[in-house]
Amino acid sequence: MITIVGAGLAGSEAAWQIASLGIDVTLYEMRPQRATAVHKTADCAELVCSNSFRGDKLDNAVGLLKEEMRRLGSLIMRVADGCRVPAGAALAVDRERFSRSVTDALTSHPRITIVRDEVTTIPASSRLAPVILATGPLTSDALAADLLRLVGGGHLAFYDAISPIVLAESIDRSKVFRASRWDRSLRGAGSRTVGRDAPGNGTICGADDSAGDYLNCPFTREEYERFYEALTHAESATVHDFDREKFFEGCLPLEVMAHRGVDTLRFGPMKPVGLVNPATGCEAYAIVQLRQDDLAGDHYSLVGFQTQLKWGEQSRVLRMIPGLEQAEFVRFGMVHRNTYVNGPRVLDDTWQVRVRPSLFLAGQMSGVEGYVESAASGLLAGLNAAALTSDRPVISPPRTTAIGALAYYVSHANPAHYDPTNITFGIMAPLEKPPRGKQQRGVAHSERALVALDEWISERRRAWTEATAPS
């Protein structure tokens, strides 16, 4: 018997996968007894915000992830496809029908028992009775405190301060320069160290480039004043209740810092000291630093630029940064309540907790971002919990697949600077001969991934059949 806590996107998918393998599941869900700040119903897999599962074509990574999940027998994908509403190239659903249909599928499955109760401590687990925690970004306080005891201080976050990310090819390289503060590169040269002043903690990986780890966008005084004016007059997003909590000083939204004074940013995330612009031979009046954000170097995040501005306002104001005039945003910034572990310190690529392998984490709390990614991690955690209890191999698909890449990122990214991630082609194993166009690259990734996944599915089926065949 397997216990799952949390019937959100991840927990519901995990329960379905396990029950489909003929194993009994008890699924705990605290709603409606206990509410969260954002859920509105008692249904399983409620979509708390948008009704979109994002792109559904194979030239984008989330489209690929969805196709992989379909091939793995995903309940979430099957129901989403059945509740589709018109949304162009995206998969959007009728949210009420979607959650009700997932709930119906789970409640009518003979192997699944749903218990409506809050779980306040991590249930005991063993190889024969694994546990999956999938309580999401708004995990209740008592359970979050117990998880903190298990994983240790510093490895569990309660807030997410997300900086915007831009597409590398949309940065105007003629205006930015590559350098690390005080010429201290995080890569290459062994004698160099990370300066105390260095913002953030570098990249996950990437080509050695001793010219520095950051792309720097230099401002003149006039450019800075124009930017400051626009920032302090821009409109913030509507906040949820939980966002009214006090912010930590270490992750203040950009606009909150700006309102403290005209020079606050120049002594904070826009500090220019130690960064000499080779074009002028001088330090700029202010700087915005861009840090490589994915394995392939396709994405750059704006260091220290967590913000709650409305997305339209972000694209308007941030395009005033020299070099970002034509920037294409891969993700906008936000600050919100989010309980998640530092995946690389806590998890294996099988979604097992390293210090307690009979315990699995899945969904947003495991360090992924997004509905589809949460459900995908639940799918793999479910398959692996079932494998563990049946004495079969606990494995993950290869990193050439989207679902395998997600598992790899969560367990192998740089733990010193861990951010939950959406699926992107940038976290997948690089292509040997990447086509030139972005769309063609995406399609090439997808073609390779689906072949690899089909092989993985066949091998896994063979391993399961052999393990059950009479000797």
Ligand X SMILES: Cc1cc2nc3c(=O)[nH]c(=O)nc-3n(C[C@H](O)[C@H](O)[C@H](O)COP(=O)(O)OP(=O)(O)OC[C@H]3O[C@@H](n4cnc5c(N)ncnc54)[C@H](O)[C@@H]3O)c2cc1C
Residue ranges in contact with ligand X by CB under 6 A: 5-11, 28-31, 36, 38-39, 48-50, 118-119, 134-140, 143, 240, 336, 363-365, 370-371, 374
> Please, what is the minimum distance in Å from the beta carbon of residue 38 to ligand X?
5
> Please, what is the minimum distance in Å from the beta carbon of residue 335 to ligand X?
11
Q: Write the DSSP string, 361-380.
A: E-SGGGTB-SHHHHHHHHHH
CB of 226 within 8 A of CB of 317?
no
Closest CA to 53 of 40, 43, 62: 62
Q: Which is nearer to ligand X, 140 or 185 (CB)?
A: 140
- Whether the ω angle into residue 32 lies within 30 degrees of 0, i.e. cis, is yes
> Please, what is the minimum distance in Å from the beta carbon of residue 338 to ligand X?
6
Q: Which is nearer to ligand X, 139 or 216 (CB)?
A: 139
Q: Which residue is nearest to ligand X (CB)?
A: 8
Which three-class secondary structure state does DSSP give residue 415?
A: helix
> Please, what is the minimum distance in Å from the beta carbon of residue 91 to ligand X?
11
> Please, what is the minimum distance in Å from the beta carbon of residue 340 to ligand X?
9
> Please, what is the minimum distance in Å from the beta carbon of residue 312 to ligand X?
16
Q: Using the 8-state DSSP alphabet, how is residue 435 labeled?
A: -
> Please, what is the minimum distance in Å from the beta carbon of residue 365 to ligand X?
6
Torsions phi, psi for 35 (to 5 deg): -90, 165
Q: Which residues are CB-contacts of 71 (< 8 A; sequence separation ≥ 6)?
A: 450, 453, 454, 457
CB count in 10 Å sphere of residue 269: 22
Closest CA to 292 of 212, 403, 219: 212
With tokens 């992750």, the residue in question is 251
Q: Which amino acid is at 290?
A: L
Residue length of the chain: 471
Q: Which is nearer to ligand X, 192 or 240 (CB)?
A: 240
Q: Which residues are CB-contacts of 323 (< 8 A; sequence separation ≥ 6)?
A: 171, 172, 173, 175, 176, 215, 217
Residue 116's DSSP bridge partners are 29
**Strand 156-162 versus strand 112-116 pairing type:** unpaired
Say how far apart CA 257 and CA 163 lie, in whole Å.
14
Q: Establish how many alpha carbons lie within 13 A of residue 245's alpha carbon, considering only the half-sphere containing its beta carbon.
A: 14
> Please, what is the minimum distance in Å from the beta carbon of residue 301 to ligand X?
18
Say how far apart CA 261 and CA 242 lie, in whole Å.
26
CB of 171 within 8 A of CB of 300?
yes
Q: What angle, rounded to 10 degrees, do the helices at 75-82 and 371-389 form?
A: 140
Q: Which is nearer to ligand X, 25 or 452 (CB)?
A: 25
> Please, what is the minimum distance in Å from the beta carbon of residue 372 to ligand X?
7
> Please, what is the minimum distance in Å from the beta carbon of residue 458 to ligand X?
29
Q: Which is nearer to ligand X, 137 or 333 (CB)?
A: 137
> Please, what is the minimum distance in Å from the beta carbon of residue 251 to ligand X?
16
Q: Using the 8-state DSSP alphabet, how is residue 113 labeled?
A: E
Q: Which is nearer to ligand X, 74 or 364 (CB)?
A: 364
CB burial class (10 A; 0-12, 13-18, 19+) of residue 415?
A: middle
Say how far apart CA 103 and CA 40 lie, in whole Å.
15
Say how far apart CA 411 and CA 421 lie, in whole Å.
12
> Please, what is the minimum distance in Å from the beta carbon of residue 442 to ligand X?
19
Q: Which is nearer to ligand X, 13 or 59 (CB)?
A: 13
Say how far apart CA 167 and CA 292 lie, in whole Å.
10
Q: Which is nearer to ligand X, 7 or 90 (CB)?
A: 7
Q: Which is nearer to ligand X, 69 or 143 (CB)?
A: 143
